Amino acid sequence: MEQVQQQIGQRLRQARQQRGWSLDRTARETGVSKAMLGQIERGESSPTVATLWKIATGFKLSLSSFLEVAEPAGERPVIRRVAESSLQESEQLQFFPLFPFDPAFGFELFQIALEPGQEHLSEPHDEGVTEHVIVVSGAMEVLAGGDWHPLACGEAIRFAANQPHGYRNLGAEKALFHNLIHYR
């Protein structure tokens, strides 16, 4: 986890420097306080998923661009393991990037684990961002279009993510789902 924290800090600093933004400007663009941004850059604080989404949205970058760099698309198959890297929001919610954002494809793919009773609400993403949620084990509900939609194992939903949305597990077992986020 410490390695992920350091990597996020380095990527934040790189994105800020590439744009020539001060911490003040970055705070205005992302809605994250200057103090928190400084702590993240120095590796003193690990951002929550919600905070990292705010930062990514402010920079108009994908969430996974702060976690790892995509391997270039090529002729050879790319095999990934879920355990290679993760971003843990809490003891009950884990994000695993399966395929980080690659401009050649326009999407990033996560596996997300929701423990029983867990709910995660997400702020709107930029216009044109679409999420695809596919339940691979357990059951869950997805907030999209202002309503909660129940999904069982093997079911999926696609929705415009430029509005508040969320995920929750009201069941007694862990829910595991894939979240493909497409950027236009």
Looking at per-residue pLDDT, the higher value among 46 and 30 belongs to 30
The reported pLDDT for the residue numbered 73 is 64
pLDDT band (50, 70, 90) for residue 70: low
Instruction: Answer yes or no: do 47 and 87 share one domain.
Output: no
Instruction: Answer yes or no: do 23 and 57 share one domain.
Output: yes
Task: Report whether pLDDT(21) > 70.
Answer: yes
pLDDT band (50, 70, 90) for residue 181: very high
Instruction: Answer yes or no: do 94 and 178 share one domain.
Output: yes
- Tens digit of pLDDT for each residue in 110-137? 999 999 999 988 888 889 999 999 999 9
pLDDT band (50, 70, 90) for residue 71: low
The reported pLDDT for the residue numbered 72 is 64
By residue range, what is the domain housing residue 40?
Answer: 2-61
CA distance 97 to 38: 25
Mean pLDDT on 72-94: 63
The reported pLDDT for the residue numbered 74 is 66
Q: What is the DSSP letter of 151?
A: E
Q: Where are the beta strands (DSSP E) in 68-129?
A: 87-90, 93-102, 107-114, 119-122
Number of domain units in the chain: 2
Instruction: Answer yes or no: do 126 and 175 share one domain.
Output: yes
CA distance 137 to 152: 8
Instruction: Answer yes or no: do 9 and 45 share one domain.
Output: yes
CA distance 59 to 19: 9
Q: What is the DSSP letter of 68?
A: -
The answer to whether the beta carbons of residues 62 and 183 sit under 8 Å apart is yes
Q: Give the number of C-alpha atoms closer than 13 A to the C-alpha of residue 28, restricted to the C-beta side.
A: 4
Task: Report whether pLDDT(149) > 70.
Answer: yes
Looking at per-residue pLDDT, the higher value among 171 and 85 belongs to 171
Domain assignment present for residue 7? The answer is: yes
Task: Report whether pLDDT(60) > 90.
Answer: no
Instruction: Answer yes or no: do 97 and 142 share one domain.
Output: yes
CA distance 85 to 90: 15
The reported pLDDT for the residue numbered 33 is 94
- Measured in degrees and rounded to the nearest 5, phi and psi for residue 135 equal -80, 125
